[in-house]
Structure 1
Amino acid sequence: MSLQPVNTVDNKALFLRFKDEVWPYRWLLLPAMVAMMVMAGTNGAIAYMVQPILDDLFIKQDRQMLLIVPMVILAIFLVRGAAYFVQTYLMEYVGLRVVRSMQVRLYNHLLALDMAQVLGNATGGYISRIISDTNLLKSAASSVIANIFREGFTVIVLLGMVFYQNFELALVSAIGLPAAGFLIYRFGRRMRKLSRIRQERMESVVSHLEQTISGLRVVRAFNMEPRERAEFRHITKAVFAIQKKAIFVRAVSNPSMDIIAGLVIFGVITYAGNAIIEGQTTTGAFFSFLTALIMAYTPIKRFTSLNNALQESLAAARRVFEFLDIPPTIVSPPAPRETPAVTQGVNFNNVTFRYAPDLPPVLRDLNLSVRAGERIALVGQSGSGKSTLVNLLPRFYDVTEGAIEIDGVDIRDISMRGLRSRISMVTQEVILFNDSVRNNIAYGGGSDDPDKIRQAAADANALEFIEKLPEGFDTVIGDRGVKLSGGQRQRLSIARSILKDSPILILDEATSALDTESERLVQQALDRLMEGRTTLVIAHRLSTIQNADRILVLRNGVIVEMGSHAVLLEKGGEYARLHAIQFHNEEPIGN
């Protein structure tokens, strides 16, 4: 499932949704807005003070004003500095709170999405949205919007002063405003499009980096460094191309505004020069007007770059909200039933499953009853539906047709948390975290008790190697447990399941990638783990499932054989054929 919006949202909708993110901090934004207005007022005061400086100090040489004017200017800058501090601190604080809140929401939403929705997209897309896009939103919340309001207040104050001082000159200077507004709109629209494309291409960069790092062993083993370097150059070249276009837009926007400003000032000076010569205004009044006009031009010019930055933030906001708009389809019921204790067993009733409506079924009208405490082994060729069947039980996916029940209760009527608390999994792909051995074992939520963790490690045949580690249970084992061997990682995974102590156990090819000695230790640990638990075992090594209560043979999503190891061998069917292939017999045992 691709990361596409549920509904296309326009800019107004984006603003409204972003406002909802900022609205909880309105009581911090209010004093920040007041500080912005104070800063705008100080800009007007600075422009106004040009007139008494020229007329009273330099032309009239009024000594009394020599005391007053410097004190007033000092007071203006003190107030301006205090207002700037309040505005900057509060807006940056709000920006940090917003980005943290958004990152948490995105992460929580990622965890709530279905497996098909998550695994169907590149990892880089999620990382880009949670890290890069939210930081662009932080820029919007703390800097861009703050500057737009502050510069807007400044323009209002200074233009008000311009019209107050000389209405005719103000009308002359206002001729350039429509052209400036048109350029701001055009440049902003272009930047929004370029920013969206750039963020999408950055996803490819992040995804490629993630894949290279996680698959570094394969890259080196197959001498694929040249290919990966070439691919990375190609991806970054695409990013560079779009960034170059964005740089061009930013670079051309300021000179365009300068040309408009130059034409306006040309007209103002020409008009005002005649007024001064004819005695219609004073030099101080004109320079005060010109100062206010130039000071007003600066924020108007900045509106172009601010609007460009705002459009980048809107593109990021669109991507963030598109992701948040993807609805999870596998959720807990509104009124969940009590979680069963698994005293009766698990039933698969007429279960059919497709990964997508247009794909053929992976499981077809499957029926299976597993008694509490029974060990069921699933065998079959790759693609027969074994892993799909066990993935339906914890609701990683939901059945397309039929139902799965625990103690007679449909698992869709149980809360997700309650259902998964009853299930432990040990898989071929062991997931460990860059944390201590202790915390990795306790990750299943079984207990933080050191004695119970130690006992779980002992039962998993892991205690001996753990105690030989530099810091024992406190040793940090690296990302995915890279500091441990495959057998050691698998035994930690088993210890995690032992500590969790769930009544249902799923073993998905838990020993298929181990050497003989590691397999022996892991198998001993698994035998202890399976005692008294309802167990579903997937194994390619048929020697590991001979003691199962029942063995199910799947082919094309259908159970074609069922029985004990001895019975199925005697029958001479599919299981016997698989057994013969694995143990290099010419004819299936039982034929």
Structure 2
Amino acid sequence: MKTYLRILQFAKPYSRFVPLYTIYTILGIVFGLFNFTLIIPLLNVLFGEVGAEEAVAMATQKPEFSLNIEFFKDFFNYYFGQVILQEGRQGALLFVCLIVIVSIFLANLFRYLAFRVIGELRAHVVKNMRHAVYQRVTELHLGYFSNERKGDLMTRLTVDIQEVESSVVSTLTVVVREPISIIAFFVLLFSMSVKLTLFTLILLPLSGGIIAGISKRLKRKAQQGQNSLSFILTIIDETLSGIRVVKAFNAEPFILNKFNSQNNRYADIQRSIANKRDLASPLSEFLGVTVVAGLLYYGGSLVLNQESELSPSEFITYIILFSQVLVPAKAMSASFSNIQRGLVSGDRVLQVIDTKPEIKDKPDAKVLRSFEQDIEFRNVKFGYGDKVVLQNINIAIPKGKTVALVGPSGGGKSTLADLIPRFYDPMGGKILIDGLDIRDYTMASVRDKMGVVTQDPILFNDTIFSNIAFNKTDATADEVITAAKIANAHDFIMQTPDGYQTTIGDRGGKLSGGQRQRLSIARAILKNPPILILDEATSALDTESEKLVQEALTNLMKNRTSIVIAHRLSTIQHADEILVLQHGQIVERGTHEELQNSSGLYAKLTQMQLTV
């Protein structure tokens, strides 16, 4: 119930939906009930139980208004009696039939209008929920995505939200309308016969308990089903991302077997869910008919023995009315079965929304207007879980200088660079920009001063122009072309089919590695940040591409503060300072010449690359 109510929170403001929906629903139910109450006069006319004397008695005095069932009953009888006196039984029959038509039309009209309102509410809830979960995903720190399966997140963003829409929000009509219908039916039934209605209230909870037991088991299966589906999407994502490796290792049978294992498990779970869900409706119908049969026997015996306050026509109407109670009851039992699946999906979506971002702005965070002095690491320590990756890091990077980070893999170079734009926060010590801890600045203003170029360029399935002008919506064509020229990208761009409007495919798959990297550099040039972070930007390139990219990087680094991570030591010989990291600590520092002469780790690494 808690999850259901939380999902409905996404419908705020309720004032847009609740008043109209309530009015339309009540009017639809009232006119729907009115149709069944007309069965009594209809049967009385057909069976000849209303004669001239009865008609005169009904039409004698017009009832005074009062808000109860008796008034509406007497009001109808008054006009019904007048019609019988003036038009006869044939006219009375026509009168009742016309009222039935009008009543059914109004009942269905208001029902349709209620559906219109609930349709808008459904779209509103799903839109707000999808926005909330996507916004939270973008706010979460990088470590979260290292611990979660991408396929599972995609399942929550797509399948789970769709399930919430189809299984929870779509049943709002049932959850709201049907209980009101049942209450209205029982009010009418109590007004007709208290004894018979109490008899039915003894039998109905029994069938409700059986249906509730089925629904509870259904929720457990639904949880297993959603987890299995997330595994399937993870396998699909990994297969598509690594299709080259799959084919290179002839791993198609292996990956297919892995997929089939999860696919079969999901199919078994869905089959079990379907069996339990489909059992709810026929079982509720059987139990309902059993109750009606018991009522028919018990009430019929009272009528036959003249122990009931109901006439035969009223008893028939009572049975018909009670049978209609089973319609909303059956709809509720079926919807509660569906809701269980939706609530499981709702829980999974809310888990993402409830995840608190570990990296966030302080309430009084300042805006970093400009970068003027330096970046400083003071006794910085960082680790992933219990594993310490960096410790006792002390660095000062003056404005306009280039600092290179080198060392064996796993030494902490990329982690150190990730701390500067606050992808992570240090566990100990502090990082300062212009003398102030970066946690005292807003994240947006800190990252606005930085440009990042990584070893694996991140491009989007869009045009070349859009990739260079990413998040710079006011960029002109001339600005984009200028950035591309500085990045040595303009010539190859003009050779593509549509120039700057060429779509480059998923992750830039239509381009070579060097071309993708130069687009990434052009994007950084267009942003024109004062601080650059270059994470092994040339290590995966061939010699020709590396030369072009290195020229582009040299152009990019002019008059900027740069932090460069490099495996190829030849690319950072002109750095103002080189830091050698090993096991999370700075073991050497100095210029290229100083480190070469020290015969330490840096000199050893340089010698190893020269002999390759």
Asked whether the two chains share a fold, i.e. TM above 0.5, the reply is: yes
1:294 aligns with 2:283: no
The structural deviation recorded for 1:497 is: 0.3
Q: How does 1:30-41 map to 2 (within 5 A)?
A: 30-41=19-30
Counterpart selection for 1:418 from 437, 445, 449? 445
Label 1:104 to 1:476 Cα distance change in 2 as closer, same or farther (>3 A).
same
Q: Which amino acid aligns with 1:87?
A: A
User: 1:57 matched to which residue of 2?
Assistant: 46
Is the CA contact (8 Å cut-off) linking 1:176 and 1:260 kept in structure 2?
no
Q: 1:216 to 1:25 in 2, by over 3 A?
A: farther
Match of 1:266 among 293, 301, 313: 293
CA displacement, residues 294-315 of structure 1 (integer Å, 9 cap, x when unaligned): 1111211222111112222222
Give the corresponding residue for 1:575: 602
User: Which residue matches 2:456?
Assistant: 429
Helix, strand or coil at the partner of 1:354: strand
Contact 1:172 1:267 in 2 (8 A): no
Aligned-partner residue type, residue 165 of structure 2: K
TM-superposed CA distance for 1:340, in Å, is 5.4
Distance 1:234 1:139 in 2: 28
Distance 2:186 2:32 in 1: 11
2:353 corresponding residue in structure 1: 324
Residue of structure 2 in register with 1:228 after alignment = 255
Within the candidate set 9, 14, 26, 1:25 is matched to 14
Residue 504 of structure 2 is matched in structure 1 by 477
Q: Deviation of residue 292 (structure 1)?
A: 0.7
Deviates more, 1:255-264 or 1:376-385: 255-264
Task: Indicate the larger mover: 336-345 or 198-207.
Answer: 336-345
- Does residue 365 of structure 2 align to residue 336 of structure 1? yes
What is the CA–CA distance in structure 2 between the aligned matches of 1:174 and 1:561, rounded to whole Å?
84
Deviation at 1:500, TM superposition (A): 0.5
What are the within-5 Å matches in structure 2 for residues 34-113 of structure 1? 34-57=23-46, 59=48, 62-113=89-140
- What are the ranges of 5 or more consecutive residues in structure 2 without an aligned counterpart? 50-87
One-letter amino acid of the structure 1 residue matched with residue 151 of structure 2: G
Q: Is structure 2 residue 224 aligned with structure 1 residue 197?
A: yes
The separation in 2 between residues aligned to 1:231 and 1:396, in whole angstroms, is: 34
2:409 aligns to what? 382
Which structure has the greater CA radius of gyration? 2
Shift of 1:84: 2.0
- Residues 444 and 497, structure 1, Cα contact 8 Å, conserved in 2: no
Task: String of CA shifts for 1:156-206, please: whole Å, max 9, x gaps.
Answer: 222222222233332333332120221232222222222222222221122
Deviation larger for 160-169 or 432-441: 160-169
- Quote the residue 2:157 is aligned against: 130
Matched, 1:214 2:203: no
**Amino acid corresponding to residue 493 of structure 1 in structure 2:** S
Q: Quick check: 2:480–2:526 contact (8 Å CA) kept in 1?
A: yes
CA–CA distance in structure 2, aligned partners of residues 466 and 309 of structure 1? 53
Shift of 1:508: 0.6
Of 529, 532, 546, the match for 1:519: 546
Q: Does 1:508 align with 2:570?
A: no
Q: Is the 8 A contact 2:7 2:125 kept in 1?
A: no
Deviates more, 1:21-30 or 1:75-84: 21-30
Q: Of 354, 372, 395, which aligns to 2:422? A: 395
Deviates more, 1:65-74 or 1:132-141: 132-141
Distance 1:321 1:338 in 2: 32
Question: Structure 1: 5+ residue runs without aligned partners?
Answer: 1-10, 586-591
Question: Quick check: 2:403–2:576 contact (8 Å CA) kept in 1?
Answer: yes
- Aligned: 1:346 with 2:335: no
* Partner of residue 304, structure 1: 333
- Taking the aligned partners of 2:220 and 2:246, their CA distance within structure 1 comes to 35
Q: Deviations over 1:367-414 (max 9, x none)?
A: 111121111111111001111110110011111111111121211111
1:229–1:192 distance in 2 versus 1, CA, 3 Å: same
Q: Give the C-alpha shift of residue 278 in structure 1.
A: 4.6
CA distance in structure 2 between the aligned counterparts of 1:584 and 1:484, rounded to whole angstroms: 32
Q: TM-score, normalised by structure 2?
A: 0.89
Aligned counterparts of 1:418 and 1:440: Cα–Cα separation in 2: 22
Cα shift at 1:259: 3.3
Q: How much has 1:66 moved relative to structure 2? A: 2.2
Aligned to 2:171: 144
Deviations 1:510-551 (A, max 9, x none): 111111111111111000000011111111112211222222
3-state SS of 1:373 partner: coil
Q: Which residue of 1 aligns with 2:205?
A: 178
Counterpart for residue 445 of structure 1: 472
Equivalent residue number for residue 154 of structure 1: 181
State the shift of 1:438 in Å. 0.9
Instruction: Please provide the CA RMSD for this pair.
Output: 1.9
CA contact (8 A) 1:384 1:556 kept: yes
Distance 2:604 2:589 in 1: 14
SS of aligned partner of 2:128:
helix
Q: 1:534 aligns with which of 531, 556, 561?
A: 561
Q: Distance in 2 between matches of 1:430 and 1:495?
A: 11
Cα drift, residue 73 of structure 1: 1.3
Q: Offset of 1:59 from its aligned partner?
A: 4.7
Secondary structure, aligned partner of 1:62: helix
- Which sits farther off after the overlay, 431-440 or 140-149? 140-149
8 A Cα contact 1:29 1:91, kept in partner:
no
